[in-house]
Structure 1
Amino acid sequence: MYYWLLKNVLVGPFLRLAFRPWSRGAEHVPAEGPAILASNHLAVIDSFVLPLTIRRKVQFLGKSDYFTGSGFKGRLVAGFMRGVGTVPVDRSGGRAAEAALLTGKQILAGGDLLGIYPEGTRSPDGRLHRGKTGVARLAIETGAPVIPVAMVGTAEAQPIGRKVPRPVKIGVVYGEPLDFSRYQGMEDDRFILRSVADEIVYAILELSGQEYVDIYAATAKARIAQGFAVDAGQVHAPAAPGGRPVPEVASDAATGPRDAPDAVAPRQ
C-alpha cells in the first residue's frame, strides 16, 4: 500500500512533472509472474524513474546502509527506501554476493519483478561496463526471463556528485525478453555464467547506444578516484561484450521517442 501511495500520490506526481518520463517497449514486461529487469545504471534516480513507466511493482536490491541510519533523517530515508520497493542487502563481508542472490531468488519466487543493475554500481563515466555474473546465475537458477532496459537521460539529470537532479526529460527503453532456460542446471559453469552476463549486457548496449568498456564499473570508479584514466585500449570500439559487433543504435534511442512518448500510466 505504501509503495502505491508513494508512486501515485506522494512522490510519483512530482517525478513525472520534473522528468516527463517516456517509455518504449513496455509491452515486453510480463503482466504477471517473475521477471528480471536488467538495466544500465547512470544515476541514483534510475530506481525511482523506471517504475513510473510500468504498472507493476519493481523491487530493487539496495545496500543495508540505507536502512540503518539513526535519528529522524535515518528513519525517513529507511522508510522511503522501503516504500519505493528497495530490499536491504548486507554488502559487507565475503558472503555479500550470496545474500544478494538469495534475496533476489526470494523476490522472483514470489512472482514479482526484480530490478537489477548488471554493472553492480553506477557507471562512473557514462559508459557501459562489464556485467557481473550474479544476474546470469539468477536467470538460470530461477528460469525467470530477463528484460534488458536502457535508462536514457538520467546521467544528464543527475551527474555523479549532484544530489538534486535537474528537471530533464528521461526515457526508459525495454527490450525483448531473453530466455536462458537452455542453460538450466549449468549455473555452476563459470563460462556459461560469463556468456549469459555478456549477452545481457549486449542487449542493454543495443538499446542504450553507450560506449562499452570491458572492465567492471567498480574498478573504473576506483581508478578514476585515484586520478587515473580508464585505459583507452579497454574501450571496445570494434567489438561489444562477448566479441560481438558494436550494434547500430537508432539516434532516437538516445534522445527520446520518435513522435509521442508511449509512457504507461500506473494503474490506480
Structure 2
Amino acid sequence: MRNRQRHRGFSLTEVLLAVGTLAIGMIFISGTFLTGIHLSTIATERTIAAVVADEAFAKIRLYGIDITDPNFASNQLTRFVTLNPIAQTEFAYPSTNTTTDKQYYWSALCRPVLSDPTNRLIQVTVFVSRKVGSGTTYPSGTSRPVPVQVAVSAASGPGNESKLTITNSAEQTFINGGSTLVDNETGLIYRVLKRDEDAPNTVVLDRNWQGGAADSVWVVPPPVGGGRYPCIAVYQKLIAF
C-alpha cells in the first residue's frame, strides 16, 4: 500500500501574523521615507536661504544706508526699506523685474552698533522667508512675508528667565514654536521652543532673555488665516557704510 503524504496549508492565525508583521514593516518604512523627504526639504531650503541672504547683503552694500538718517537709533532696529526705499522686486529671489510667482523673499533690519553718529558700523539682520500661494497675504498688510514688531514683556519669577509674554492678545498667533525672534533693543536672535503650557500668551525661548522687562521683538508671522511658518532662517552681519 502506497503511503500518501498529507499537504497542509497555512492556518488563519499564521496568515494574520504574517500580514500584521508585513503591515508593521511597511508603516515603519513609509514613516522613514516621509521623514527623509522632510529633512531633505529643510536642507534644500536652508541652502537656498543662505544664497538669498548673500544676495541680500550684497544689495544692501550696493544700495547703501545713510547713517545720518533721522530714523536711525542705536537702541532699536529699523527696516532697511525705510532707510532706502528700493524697488519691491529687489526683495524677491531670484531677482527679476517682477515678483510674480516668486517663492523666496528677504527683508532686513538695521541698527547702529554704537550711538556715535560718526560710527559707520551697522548691524544688519536679514530674514529669508518663503511665500506659499499667489493670493497669500500677511498681517503686515503686504503680499510677501516680512517681519513685524510685537510687544513683549519678560516673564517674572524664578525659573522664567527664558520666557516671554506677548503683550497684545491679537498678536499671539504671530509667535509660535519654531519662530525666530530678534530683540528690538539688542538685536539678539532667539528661537521659540514652544508655548508655555500654563499660559497661552507666553512662549519659551532657547536661552535666557537678555532684553528689557518691557520690550519688543521682530518676527515673520504666518499668513492671515493661518498656515506654515514662513521664515526659513535669519542671518546677521556687521557692515561698514
State whether TM-score is above 0.5. Answer: no
Higher strand share: 2
Greater Rg by CA = 2
Structure 1 length normalisation: TM-score?
Answer: 0.25
Normalized per residue, the structure richer in helix is 1
TM-score by length of 2: 0.27
